[in-house]
Amino acid sequence: MFKWLRQEAFSFMGDTISVSLMIMAVTVLVSLAAWQKPDWMELMTMNPYLIDRKKQYWRFISSGFIHADFTHLFFNLFSFYFFGTQLEYIFTVIFPGMGPQMFVLFYLLGILVADLPTYFKQKNNAYFNSLGASGAVSAVIFAGIMFFPTEKIYLFGLLGIPGIIYAGLFTWYSIEMDRRGKDYVNHSAHLYGGLFGILFVSLTYPKVWITFIEQIKAMIW
């Protein structure tokens, strides 16, 4: 099943316009514009207090298209490129005729859902701000791992570890760093984004667990 799914997905490559690349292009353009316009940056940042008090709901989504600096932007889009392009083509198979639309919906929901726990936790804190596509990118990564759990992820281009192991380490790290709360990174968005990615593909394509288990068994035995 897994080989068939992957072959069918990659048969679409070159025949359609990549939604993943379009998302990347929009993110780059919006981030560049926001760096030049600090007032735009402020208006688009995720601020739970302003969302709650002034009903500025657009911040849930707009914050996913701006980044703090070039490094922040690069690493998010670097991860998104490798997982997003593969997942997009998988979506063209499991959602016939609706693949691109479902992928965009999945990505936007990833931004929103990943930020909801932070919103409820920080909505009375006027000084809390966060930004970046990390929640959506985590959703894409974990959804991709559900389809390709044994494929190696190369950290810093050197250390290759299977996706399922990476997911476990990533989850532990996010929980631990969120508990400590000693930096300004919204680690809970990473965690909840990843959980959303798993839940989304599990509900919309339950057969993913068959391919997932088959590959894990092959890796172990």
We report the CATH number of the domain holding residue 210 as 1.20.1540.10
Phi/psi at 58 (5° precision): -60, -20
Domain that holds residue 152: 2-220
Q: Please give the share of the chain, as a percent, with pLDDT higher than 70.
A: 85
Model pLDDT for residues 197-206, shown as the tens digit of each residue: 999 999 999 9
Q: How many domains does the chain have?
A: 1
| pLDDT over 90 at 153, yes or no | no
pLDDT digits (tens, 9 = 90+) for 127-146: 999 898 889 999 998 999 99
Give the bridge partners for 162, in sequence order: 152
pTM confidence score: 0.87
pLDDT category at 98 given cuts 50, 70, 90 is very high
CB neighbours of 19 closer than 8 A, spacing ≥ 6?
Answer: 88, 100, 103, 104
Pick the closest to residue 129 from 66, 191, 35 (CA basis): 66
* Buried/exposed code over 105-132 (b: 16+ C-beta within 10 A; e: otherwise): ebbebbbbbbbbebbeebbeeeebbbbb
